[in-house]
Amino acid sequence: MPSGMINGILTNVGAIVVAKFVPNIRFKSQHIERLTIVMSVFVISFLNMGILVLIQYKNQMYVPNDFQIPWLLFWGKAITLSLFISNFMPLVAPTIKALCKRGLCCCKKDNYSAERHLNPEFKIERRYAGMINTCFLVFTYSFSLPVLPFVASIVLMLQYIIDKLLITYYYKEQIEHNDLINRWALRVIKYGIVLFYVFGAFAIAANYC
């Protein structure tokens, strides 16, 4: 569906712009810089995929009324497609490079040295932002789109497997990391339940009131 594809691509474009812009700001530490990238990319992604997309197409003639069965079919496809594109688009380039370099041979990196390794580091910031955004989309629309938790589970599972393989066989090891992003991710995700109740109430009102 064009709307889901466009929003998935725009989400990645916004993430790239933020990742390039934020490092130009002076931070007390690299950990705070990475946390800022995570939260900025998450906010942009969720606004684009979860909120603005509804406003953008609200007045179009072909868009059904909110939370009705045709609405579920229309937005179910759009949100699912944008979810897949936004999460897997950043993995396309490194996956192709890893396959071209190693083919089907899953050999460990020989004589590994962080100083001599020319491949880029694994961008954990975008991965955290993508996972938080996925969780918030599930909280927001799972009441109306029951298939969304299942789709998100497949996305996160495939993402985990591909990330594991790329970290093992392609990416340069990241030297410095602490639990700052972990702690903030856990703090933010719990507020997704508020969106679940709010959008769930709108869905009930649209169908039964």
* Model confidence pLDDT, tens digit, residues 155-208: 999 989 988 888 877 777 665 667 888 888 888 888 888 888 888 787 777 665
121 forms bridges with which residues in the sheet? 172
Confidence of residue 61 (pLDDT cuts 50, 70, 90): very low
Residue 88's H or E segment, with its range, is helix 69-102
Of 30-34, 46-50, 147-151, 170-174, where does the model show the most confidence? 147-151
Q: What is the pLDDT of residue 203?
A: 72
- Write down the pTM of the prediction: 0.79
Residue 13's H or E segment, with its range, is helix 2-21
Percent of the chain past pLDDT 70, that is, above it, reads 72
- Yes or no: say if 50 and 136 are a contact pair by the CB < 8 Å rule: yes
Based on the structure, what is the number of domains in the chain? 1
Residue from 93, 79, 95, 81 nearest 169 by CA: 95
Confidence of residue 104 (pLDDT cuts 50, 70, 90): very low
Q: What is the pLDDT of residue 157?
A: 92
Q: Kindly give, in sequence order, each residue whose CB lies less than 8 Å from that of residue 125, ignoring residues fewer than 6 positions away.
A: 19, 34, 37, 38, 41, 181
Domain that holds residue 114: 2-208
